Each structure stands twice: as C-alpha cells, then as structure tokens.
Amino acid sequence: MLKENFIEYLENAIQNTWDGNAFSDYNGKTMTYREVAGQILKFHLFFEKAGIKKGDKIALLGKNSTNWG
C-alpha cells in the first residue's frame, strides 16, 4: 500500500530526481522530472488564466503519449 498519494510521489520525485527519467513512450522518447515539472507549470498557468480553480471539474482528452505540451 502506498503511503503517499500520486501528487506527493511526483513532488518528491521531482525534488529528488530532477534530471532522472520520469516517463517514456513506445517510441523511446523520455521525459525527465524537470520536463514534467515544466509541463505541470504550463498546465497550472493555463488553468489559472482560464479561471479554473481548485475543486473545479475538468476533462482532458488526448492520445496516450508523452507529448501533452
């Protein structure tokens, strides 16, 4: 059983493994935790600009890919 939720896991991984590989896709493209943090920031700024707040419900739709940026 995990002692931390996904967000806590990701925060710890970003802080402790900044340049380590976080994800890879079937084509062999990888993303480091640094790149993941950058993507999270982009989403955060987009949601903030769109007026989306904590607790709002949203949906994301896309291909199974590391390219969400």
Those residues with Cβ within 8 angstroms of residue 64's Cβ, 6 or more apart along the chain or in another chain: 25
Instruction: Compute the CA torsion angle 5, 53, 42, 13 (nearest 10 deg).
Output: -10
If one compares 60 and 39, the residue with the highest pLDDT of the two is 39
Average pLDDT value for the chain: 85
pLDDT of residue 46: 94
Look at residue 61 and tell me whether its pLDDT is greater than 90.
no
Mean pLDDT of 47-58: 94
pTM, full prediction: 0.68
